[in-house]
Structures are given as structure tokens and as C-alpha cells.
Amino acid sequence: MRKELLLFVFCVTLCLTARGAGYTVSTLPDPKVDCADCYVSNPDGVLSASAVDYINSLSQSLKKTSDVEMAVVVIDAFDEYVYADAFSFCQDLFNTWGIGGAEHNTGVLVFMALQSRDVRIHTGGGMEGLLPDIKCDEILDYRSTYLSAGDYDEGISAICNDITNVLTTDEAQAELLLGYKPKSTEATKDLTIYLIAAILAFLLIYLFGYKKWNDKKNVNKQALINSTAPVQTASGCLTLFFPIPMLFFFLYFKRKRRNIRTEPVECEQCKSKMRRISSIDRFVYLNPKQRTETKIEAIDYDVWVCQTCGKVHTEPLEGRRYRDFSQCSVCGAMANKLTGTTILSNSTYTTHGKKKLTYTCQYCQSVTTSVITLPLLVRSSSSSSGSGSGSGRSGRGSSGGSWGGGSSFGGGAGRKF
């Protein structure tokens, strides 16, 4: 029993030591995650808090004056099974985090690993002119005496200070702020999507509207007018996005729909052309029921009168408020309006409720009622009372930031201290 326990303890320690062999780029904490103004990753506490604050202040001033990001990573060890040397760790870390402005790759990484005694200044692609390898090597050569003596606070701070000094001379500032090239936008892809959408919209309107108009079998004028109303609206709205084809459709439909209403109708008796009565005069020709329907805008009647035999023809069309009315079961007028609702019983989670709807006919004034069943209540899975709980985390998230997206081509210098 004791033997097995020992074996277990041995295995656990082995696992832990194997895991703790060093950081990889993915296990190394990113300082930007928690705070947008932090530039130092010091997970093993090698640097003191005051040194971290000092370096952060240097990085912040660099970031403010020019788009340079100076990141500092001080760790006990990197995972030597994954990375051959400090260079490959730095290179991977630099491009994974994206240190420095993306446009000019203005990033610098100062890296130190205690166990392998590595110190390195890794420069972004745009910094190789201001911080050539020789310059980096000089700085490291000069400051590594602190590191050899074990004064890491002073050593790293001094290295960061030297870098800041190099980058804040007038010439360096002028070079860093020199002409930002405007980024060329990928407009072609958006244009392709736009063109495809335009073709689809064109096809849809063509199939639903244009084709229907020109279909000779479709002789029912009334149905035609009613069914093409939404197409006209749709093409009108789409004009905003695709002006050229849609404006044509919109105007075409508008004209057609107006023309078809005013197009002379043939008299059924004498086959001569009939005359359309203007909207004010037509009331004389309508019966009281039709008058009411016209007044409440449920149905719009077009009235035609034959000039030769005097026959009157009325053509009912959907009025502006057609959808607000239903047909009265007593007089048959399209004038039944919803005038009241009463809830007879509320729905519960298990039984349906009932609601009474009252309709009043605007023509014959007869009142009809109908009872409908209400849907069951549904238990909502999340209680709305706890809505405040999520805000804490998002508040924390918003204070975080990210690196600028710069990349390195492998510049810089490193040495053992």
C-alpha cells in the first residue's frame, strides 16, 4: 500500500515538473488581456512591482508619442522541448501577440529567461533601421553586468531605458512618424457580393412582377393590381441599394398599375368603350353598402359607365385599409371591424385561456362575437431577475486591450548573461 502511494506521489510530481518545465507562447500570460496599458509579463515575479511600474510608464510614453509598443517578458524558463532557443521563442511570441503597430511593424520585445540565462532584444520589421542588431547587442553587452550580478530590476529597467532613449531622439521620432501609407481596402470582394445581390434582386423582381404583367393568360385585372402592389413596394425599397435596375422596375410598375386602372373597359352589352367616373362623382353610382365600404377605405370601387347604352360597371379593388376589415356575416359588406376584446380566462402553464373578440359591422351595425383560445404560458429558462450579474465580467473585459498586430522578421540580438 505504501509502495503504491509512493509511486502515485512520484507520478504526480513527475507530471507537475514536466508541466512546469517552462512557458510556451500559449501558457505565458499576456499582460494586455487584463489591462490595456500594461506591457510587462512577469508571471514568476522576477521583477519587483516598482520596476514593472517604471517599465510600463516608459512603454506608455513610447506608445503615446509614436506607435511603438515595447513589450517586456521576464520568466523563469521557456519550454526547451518546444523551442530550440530564446530566438525561436521570441519570434513565435512576437508574432502571436502581434507586438507593435501593424502598418509599420513598430514593436520591440525585451526578453529574459533566468534558467537558460538568456536576454534578448527582439525587434519588429519596422524597427530594424532604428535598432539594428549591433545597437541591440551593444545595449545588452553594456547592461548585462547588472544581470550577471543578479540585479534584474536594474538591468531590465536600464535596457528598456536605453531603447526608449534611442527611439525618442528627434531623428528617430521623425522617422517613426514619417508618412503613414493609407491602407488599400479590399473593395473587390464587397463589389462581387454586391453584384451577385443585384442580379438576384433583379431576377426576383423579374419573376414576381414583370413576368406576371406580361403573362397574357392573367386577365383578371383586379387580382393583377392587388398582387403586384408588394412588388412595387419592394422595388421601391430596393432602389435605395441598386438604383439602376430597381428604379426602372419601380417606375414601370407604378405606371403600369395606374394605367391598367384607367384603361378603358369594354361594355359587356354593346362592346363599346366605357368611361371611368372620377372618384368624387362615383358615389352617385354606388349603393349605400358600397359607399360605406369606400368611405372606410376597405374597398376602393372603380365605376365605369357605358356612353352608348348607359350600363354601369363597378370594379372592386383592395382599399387602403382593406386588412382592418372582414366580411360581415349578416349583410355581406366588407365592413366588420374589431371593436373590443375581453379575456374570459387567462392561460396557465397547463390550461388554455379564452378570449372573446367583438366585431361591429360599420354598415348594418350588427354585432358579432367569436371566442378564440389563447396559447399556453411557457416557462422561460432564464430568469430576468438575474440580469445584473453578467455586467461585472464585461466591465473587466472592456478594460483590457490588445497589441497592435505588428510582426517581426527575426531582427534583434540576444546573448547569455
- By CB under 8 A, what part of segment 384-413 binds other proteins? 408-413
Q: Which is nearer to other proteins, 195 or 330 (CB)?
A: 195
Interacting stretch for other proteins, rule CB under 8 A, among 23-31, 152-160, 188-196, 304-312?
A: 188-196
Q: Which range of residues in 187-195, 236-244, 245-253, 269-277 is near other proteins by CB under 8 A?
A: 187-195
What is the C-alpha separation between 317 and 140, in angstroms, rounded?
Answer: 89
Query: Do residues 364 and 337 lie in contact, with contact meaning Cβ atoms separated by under 8 Å?
Result: no
Of residues 78-107, which lie at the interface with other proteins (CB under 8 A)?
84, 87-88, 91
Each as own residue / partner, the long-range contacts of residues 26-30 (CB below 8 Å, 24 or more positions apart, any chain) are 26/96, 28/73, 28/75, 28/93, 30/97
The residue (of 201 and 328) whose beta carbon lies closer to other proteins is 201
Q: Classify 416 as helix, strand or coil.
A: strand
What are the phi and psi torsion angles at 350 (to 5°)? Answer: -115, -25
Q: Does 228 bind other proteins (CB under 8 A)?
A: no
Q: Which residues, including other chains, have CB under 8 Å from residue 97's CB and lie 6 or more apart?
A: 30, 32, 71, 403
Each residue 260-299 as x (binds other proteins by CB under 8 A) or -, in order, gives ----------------------------------------
Q: Which of 215, 263, 268, 324 binds other proteins (CB under 8 A)?
A: 215
Q: Is 197 in the site for other proteins (CB under 8 A)?
A: no
* Measured distance CA(222)–CA(323) in Å, rounded: 16
DSSP string, 280-315: TGGGGGS-HHHHHHHHTTSEEEEEEEETTT--EEEE
| Continuous H helices in 302-357 | none
What is residue 211's three-state secondary structure?
Answer: helix
Which residue, 1 or 134, has its beta carbon nearer to other proteins?
134
Query: 311-329 in b/e burial notation, b at 16+ Cβ within 10 A?
Result: eebeeeebbeeeeebeebe
Binding of other proteins at residue 190 (CB under 8 A)?
A: no
Comparison of 211 and 321: residue with beta carbon closer to other proteins: 211
Task: Give least dist CB 12 to other proteins, A.
Answer: 31
- Which residues are 370's β-sheet partners? 357
216 or 393: CB nearest other proteins: 216
Number of alpha carbons in the 13 Å side-chain half-sphere of residue 82: 17
Considering only 11, 199, 229, 330, the residue that binds other proteins (CB under 8 A) is 199
Smallest gap from Cβ 416 to other proteins, in A, equals 13
Supply the minimum distance, in Å, between the C-beta of residue 196 and other proteins. 6
174-182, 200-208, 254-262, 337-345 -> range binding other proteins (CB under 8 A): 200-208
Query: Which spans of this chain sit near other proteins (rule: CB under 8 A)?
Result: 84, 87-88, 91, 133-134, 137, 188-189, 192, 195-196, 199, 202-203, 206, 211, 214-215, 408-413
